[in-house]
Amino acid sequence: MTSPENSSPTERIGVYVCHCGTNIAGTVDVEDVAQWAAGRLKHRGVVIARDYKFMCSSLGQEMIEKDIKELGLTRVVVAACSPHLHEQTFRTACKRAGLNPYLCELVSIREQVSWVHTDKVAATGKAKAVLSGGVERVLHHEALEPLRVPIHPATLVVGGGIAGIQAALEIADGGFPVIMVEREPSIGGHMAQFDKTFPTLDCAACILTPKMVSVGTHPNITLLTYSEVTKVDGYVGNFTVTVRKKARCVKTDLCTGCGVCQEKCPKKIIDEIYEAGLGYRKAIYVPFPQAVPKYPVIDRENCTYFQKGTCKACEKFCPTGAIDFNQEDEYITLQVGNIILATGYDLFDPRRIPHYGYGRLANVFTSLEFERLSNAAGPTNGRIVLRDGVTVPKAVGVVHCVGSRDRNYNNYCSAICCMQSLKFAHLVKERTGATVFNFYIDMRTAAKAYDEFYQRVLEEGTLFVRGRVAEVTDAARLAGEEGKLIIQVEDTLAGKQRRIPVDMVILSAGMQPRADAKEAAKLFGISCSADGWYIEKHPKLDPVATMTEGIFIAGCVQGPKDIPNTVVQGAAAAARVLGRIQQKEIALEPIRASIIEARCSGCRICNNLCPFNAILFHEDRMVSEVNPALCQGCGTCVAACPAGAITGTGFSNEQVLSQIEGLLMLNLDGGRRVAEKAEAVLA
């Protein structure tokens, strides 16, 4: 390490201190800091120190570029906001002026000084120390070139709901191959379960199935249904994905989709997934008639042959001999350049709210159950009836905010329940003429044609009660309550508690992340919030990208949303991917760790610590190695290595230690104790 006192400056450093309006200048005396740097850091190589109102502006950047050209600067230090915001800006400015962008260092005197301190004298002193640290560090910077990796043109779309379908179609139409992996036997997702969609009351299947068919027949889309991703290796542009194709026990090249096997299968079970537990299917089944692909699947856990060894009716009756009980799971390895996760949501389980009676009281239904009830292809062929399958309700209550906006369950608003509840009110009125009550806290109808739909439902005569339902009970107390479900609620606008007898209660249950969302996120190496929704790169400005390069998210996996927004996100993710593919290669940040092989003892502590699985271990040489393409430069391994064998370009030991020396002002007036120096310096 060069001794600070004795070195003669070898670099020409430009220092720029930003006012950031009053954000920094209001607390830190920026002119003083700049002058101080020009004077006290001159012997370290500072040839010019300026202060300016807004360094990130074009004029500010031009100032840097001009100095680089005219003064022959070899290093630049900008003291301004956090690197998260403008590191790229200043690096690009340097690049334009012909200086390697990685020879520019941005130190934060805003988030780390002016925004967190109120004492102006102390803040100015700290800003000087921070700047001094930056100057010392930049002396050890090296000119780096970004890593360029090629982008494989294929894309993996995980999840065959409307988000995944939209994304897949856009990329495939753009001329590039897509592989779609879907867990269920058919694509379609939750949207395929719905009856009508708000606010247009389009039939969900009618608008979805054409897209499903396009996906099924598109030359650029490889559809892997009844399949799951089991392993993901690699990095952006170069992912290696292992997919487990579960055994359908049906030979798809022979199956014609005639459906005889389903007819003849003697084993009938409750369909918990597609029919939401309200209808039945057979052990060999196609989830719904418009399924894509049309090939059935044998549910081994419920198939008589697999459980007891008898039956085989499907095989006997199949006209093309397409049943194959010996079929095994197949493992496929794929090479893709980008991945879009569109795995959707699960419904909140209202059994967690016992005072709403779901599960105990027969005629309390969830929103998904009601969708199946009103769907013409559902278990009652579209007749809205009570749990007995026969009686048409005369009074129906629709409960908003079930499990949402509630500290005891899910704190967030599920975005679609108000509109969904209005839709239910409309459908019930239309089909049965029953009296309908909607119980809400607020009416959230914030998108195009949504509030107009609310007006329509009001006109139709649905009764709205502003009050969060306290209880749904069958314990009759007053006249007229016998045999009914009673909804007890405070009508907050009338100011009275009401007990309203109805025949049927529909609970607009909220959305939740999938039960296995967290495990899936780990598999792909991205983060989830505490709730379980996947985290976008920036909540406002980058909702479809994630912090992991090459992995995008779309649809409800990112948070509750309606169909238009889901489609938009699917398309947005596709656009990002198409952009990447067009560029054919991507430049990765060269800030990453590297292991000095000579010092590595093979202890492997770093291997498991890496959040990006970027460290490989070479068994033959007993040393670890960092894959520079996967490494995101987080520094965890650098800190953890007990032998100090890991260093990083962009955060080498020399850089960090000299930054510390600079912070402690050891680089000034050599030889004296730190405390003395600091006081003398701050004066």
Partner 1 sequence: MTKYLLYPGCSLESNARAYHDSLMAISGPLGLELEEIHDWNCCGATEYVGISLTPAYALISRNLALAAKQANGTRTVVAPCSACYLNLAKADYYMRESPKLGVKVNTALAAGDMHYTPGSLQIRHLLDVIMNDIGLETVKRGVVRPLTGLRVAPYLGCMVPRPDYEHRWSNPEYPTELDRVLKALGAEVIDFPLKTHCCGGHMTQIGPDVAYELIRRLVHAAAEYRADMMVTLCPMCQLNIDAYQGEMNRHFGTNYRMPILFFTQLMGLAFGKEPEELGIGKELVNARAALARIGVEVPPAEAAPAPRKPRRPKEALPMPHMPEDMEVNQ
Partner 2 sequence: MTTTAIEVEIERPDLPPLPQPPIADLRFLEEVAAATAGVSRLEMCIQCGTCGGSCPPSADMDHTPRQLFAMIRAGMRDEALRSNTPWICVSCYHCVVRCPQGVHIADVMYTLKSMAIRAKLYKDSTAPDFSQTFVDFVENYGRSFEFGLATRHYLKHYPLRLPGMVPKGFGMLARGRMDLTPHRIEGLDQFRAILARAKELEAAS
Chain-centre distance for alpha carbon 142: 35
- DSSP state letters, 234-303: EETTEEEEEEEE---SB-TTT-----HHHHH---EEEESSTTTTSEEEESEE-SSTT-SS---EE-GGG-
| Count of all residues that appear for the chain in the document | 683
Letters for 210-249 (x = contact with partner 2 by CB under 8 A, - = none) are: ----------------------------------------
In the complex, least distance from residue 470 CB atom to partner 2, rounded to whole angstroms: 3
- State which residue, 9 or 277, has the beta carbon closest to partner 1: 277
To partner 1, the closest distance from the beta carbon of 406 in angstroms equals 14
* CA dist., res. 578 & res. 587, Å (int): 16
Q: What are phi and psi of 20, to 5 degrees?
A: 50, 50
Residue 118 has phi, psi (to 5 degrees) of -115, -20
Helix ranges restricted to H, 446-562? 450-459, 517-524
Residue from 96, 387, 429, 498 in contact with partner 1 (CB under 8 A): 387
Q: Which of 125-133, 163-171, 230-238, 493-501 is the region at the interface with partner 2 (rule: CB under 8 A)?
A: 493-501
Q: Does 352 bind partner 2 (CB under 8 A)?
A: no
Does 529 contact partner 2 by CB under 8 A?
Answer: no
Burial of 563: CB neighbours in 10 Å, binned 0-12, 13-18, 19+: buried
Rounded to whole angstroms, the Cα distance separating 478 from 427 reads: 30
Residue 578 to residue 581: CA distance in whole angstroms: 5
Answer with the entry of partner 1, partner 2, none that 389 interacts with (C-beta below 5 to 8 A by kind). partner 1
For CA atoms 524, 644, 143, 64, the dihedral sign is positive
Please report how close the Cβ of residue 515 comes to partner 1 at its closest, in angstroms.
15
Rounded least distance, CB 139 to partner 2, Å: 53
Cα 127 from Cα 104, distance rounded (Å): 18
Residue 541 contact partner, candidates partner 2, partner 1, none, CB within 5 to 8 A by sort of partner: none
Q: Which does 354 bind (CB under 5 to 8 A by kind): partner 1, partner 2, none?
A: partner 1
Minimum CB distance to partner 2 smaller for 190 or for 484: 484
Partner whose footprint covers residue 496, from partner 1, partner 2, none (CB < 5 to 8 Å by kind): partner 2
CA distance 343 to 162: 10
Region 334-363 residues binding partner 1, contact defined as CB under 8 A: 351, 354-355, 358-360, 362
Question: With CB cut-offs between 5 and 8 Å by kind, which of partner 2, partner 1, none does residue 95 bind?
Answer: none
Which of partner 2, partner 1, none has residue 279 at its interface (CB below 5 to 8 Å by kind)? partner 1
Q: Which does 488 bind (CB under 5 to 8 A by kind): partner 2, partner 1, none?
A: partner 2
Q: Which CA distances in Å does 13 have to 90, 187, 623?
A: 14, 59, 39
Site for partner 2 contains 468 (CB under 8 A): yes
Is 474 a residue that touches partner 1 (CB under 8 A)?
yes
- CB under 8 Å to 78, separation ≥6 — which residues? 16, 18, 55, 64, 86, 90, 104, 105, 106, 107
> What is the rounded distance in angstroms from the CA atom of residue 299 to the CA atom of residue 241?
26
- Residue 477's binding partner out of partner 1, partner 2, none, with CB under 5 to 8 Å set by partner kind: partner 1
CA gap 229, 227 in Å, rounded = 7
Q: Is 336 helix (H, G, I), strand (E, B) or coil?
A: strand
Judged by CB under 8 A, the residue of 481, 491, 516, 625 near partner 2 is: 491
Nearer to partner 2, 289 or 480 (CB): 480
490 counts as binding partner 2 under rule CB under 8 A: yes
Measured distance between the N- and C-terminal CA atoms of the chain, rounded to whole angstroms: 29
**DSSP bridge partners of 279:** 271
Do 14 and 68 meet the contact criterion of CB atoms below 8 Å apart? yes
Residue 682 has which token pair? 């701050």
Question: What residue 359 binds from partner 1, partner 2, none (CB within 5 to 8 A, per partner kind)?
Answer: partner 1
Binding mask 390-429 for partner 1 (x = CB under 8 A): x---------------------------------------
Q: Does 407 bind partner 2 (CB under 8 A)?
A: yes
Query: At 122, which helix (H) or strand (E)?
Result: helix 120-138
Residue 473 interacting with partner 1 (CB under 8 A): yes
Nearer to partner 1, 312 or 352 (CB): 352
Q: In whole angstroms, how close is the CB of 404 to partner 2 at the nearest point? A: 9
Asked if residues 234 and 240 have their Cβ atoms less than 8 Å apart, the reply is yes
Using a 10 angstrom Cβ sphere, with 0-12 exposed, 13-18 middle and 19 or more buried, the burial of residue 319 is: exposed
C-alpha span between 78 and 134 (Å, rounded): 9
Which tokens hold the place of 434? 């029953």
Give least dist CB 359 to partner 1, A.
5
The 430-449 site mask, x for binding partner 2 (CB under 8 A), equals: -----------x--------
Query: Toward partner 1, which CB reaches closer, 332 or 361?
Result: 361
User: What is the distance between the alpha carbons of residues 379 and 359, in angstroms, rounded to a whole number?
Assistant: 19
CB within 8 A of 354, min separation 6: which ones? 360
Q: Per CB under 8 A, does 471 bind partner 2?
A: yes
Task: Give the number of residues in contact with partner 2, rule: CB under 8 A.
Answer: 21
Task: Scan residues 259-288 and list those touching partner 1 (CB under 8 A).
Answer: 270, 272, 277-280
* Rounded least distance, CB 373 to partner 1, Å: 8
Assess 408 for contact with partner 2 (CB under 8 A): yes
What is the closest distance, in whole angstroms, from the C-beta atom of residue 262 to partner 1 in the complex? 19
Q: How far apart are CA 70 and CA 374, in angstroms?
A: 75
Site string for partner 2, 367-406 (x = CB under 8 A): ----------------------------------x---xx
Residues near partner 2, by CB under 8 A = 355, 401, 405-408, 441, 466-471, 488-492, 495-497
Residues near partner 1, by CB under 8 A = 270, 272, 277-280, 351, 354-355, 358-360, 362, 379-380, 387-390, 473-477
